[in-house]
Amino acid sequence: MDWVLTLTLMLGGLMLLLLAGLPVAFAFITVTMVGAFEVLGGERGFVQLARNATQTVSNFQLAPIPLFILMGEILFHSGVAHRAIDAIERVVTRVPGRLSVVTIFGGTVFAALSGSTIANTAMLGSTLLPGMLRKGYHPSLAMGPIMASGAIAMLIPPSALAVLVGSLAGISISGLLIAGVLPALALAVLFVVYVVIRCIVNPGLAPTEDLPDISLAERWRPFFIYVLPLSLMFFVVIGSLLAGVATPTESAALGCIAAVVLSLCYRALSFENIHRALMETVKLSVMILFIIAASQTFAQVLSFSGATGGFIKMVNLIEPTPTMVLIGMVLILLFLGCFIDQVSMLMITVPIFVPLAANAQINELVLGVTYLLTMEIGLLTPPFGLLLFVMRGVAPDTISMRNIYAAVTPFVFIKLAVLALIVWQPAFSTWLPDQIFD
């Protein structure tokens, strides 16, 4: 079978099944089984699929995925994260668009603890959005920061998706987790700058609040009780990686233990909360691991059919520079992000992009951070950005999808600017890992 036809049928079949509403895991395994039967030799293809699935899922490098998810779910269901948001709100005062700034700070803090964009956005939306709208904040300035900072969890460690990207693309997981720190912090700073400038130019977007007159101790006490201990969790997870005393799996396990201990200290952990956290962790982890089980065979089908090599040769005919190759990847990922979920984006593109990036001598960490940031943007781009629908679920009925699209648009452009900076200056994403691991 011609490699162009194989590539078209594999990717096209996957897209059609996804558009038909079949769950990602079932769509991917179906296409992989058909490809294995046709390309890898009938029944021998199925045997190879089973062998690959066993080897892939038993890979110990994947253990951080459920552990990072569990850590965030414990903090979310125990209510500890909500207390931290309230404490941050007390500290931030006399800033234009104060509650929007609180949202960005709180979203970044929780992103560094949960690794879940959905949980982060849902928590911020349910906690802060009603109060912001009630106090007269413009809907765009209320919803935009919630969605934008909620999505940062994709990029900042501990990110379960960063572990997935590293595992599928053969990128150092420790390096990729660290490489996401600077871009994530840059996004948070730019969000705050944008909100403050916009409120200075148009004060009517965020009415001035009459804050209660409380002492300095009353203002900062909740911060030291509920925020600083959570910050210690971040240092437990990332600090153990930086110090070289723990692998990503061990640091994720330490994070789970720290989440349980903190929840117990706050008397916020119950059997019901643990049950909810475990069930949500199982749901997300099984979906991800089910897809990973077929990923190696999917890549082998494309490789044995000649699709991977043929595509690389076709690209080489135009003699592209590494920057041109990276820009092409970004454009494809941004397009896919408008229509399909992030895991599907990985499954479709990794078997092609990873060999292509290696051929163009693109740094693996630059490729990994580019993947994470483009997938983060995909969460916010219409018509099918996942976080847009999460916001629709927590917003009042008077808010339309058009309002939600308008609210998130400026923040998408900020994310695109940071993405352009990474493509233009790859050292922006590799500097911190180079300083730590060299």
Q: Please write the tens of the pLDDT for every residue from 52-92.
A: 777 777 777 677 778 877 887 787 777 777 777 778 777 77
What is the sign of the dihedral through the CA atoms of 73, 77, 80 and 82? positive
What ranges make up the beta strands (E) of 37-166? Answer: none
Closest listed residue to residue 64, CA positions, set 201, 206, 163: 163
> What's the whole-number average pLDDT of the chain?
81
Average pLDDT of 179-203?
A: 91
Evaluate if pTM is beyond 0.75.
yes
What was the pLDDT predicted at 81?
A: 73
Average pLDDT of 223-242?
A: 78
Tell me the pLDDT band of 370, cut-offs 50, 70 and 90.
Answer: very high
What's the CA gap between 124 and 429, in Å, rounded?
A: 27
Tell me the pLDDT band of 411, cut-offs 50, 70 and 90.
Answer: very high
What's the CA gap between 338 and 181, in Å, rounded?
A: 25
Residue positions counted in the chain:
438
What was the pLDDT predicted at 369?
A: 92
- The top-scoring range by mean pLDDT among 36-40, 78-82, 310-314, 370-374 is 370-374
Q: Residue 313: is its pLDDT beyond 80? A: no
Q: Which domain holds residue 126?
A: 3-437
Q: Is residue 93 packed enough to be buried (19+ CB in 10 Å), middle (13-18) or exposed (0-12)?
A: exposed
Q: Is residue 271 packed enough to be buried (19+ CB in 10 Å), middle (13-18) or exposed (0-12)?
A: exposed
What was the pLDDT predicted at 249?
A: 80
Q: Residue 292: is its pLDDT beyond 80? A: no
How many folded domains does the chain comprise?
A: 1
Q: Assess contact for 71 and 259: CB atoms under 8 A.
A: yes
Q: Assess contact for 234 and 75: CB atoms under 8 A.
A: no
Q: Residue 193: is its pLDDT beyond 70? A: yes
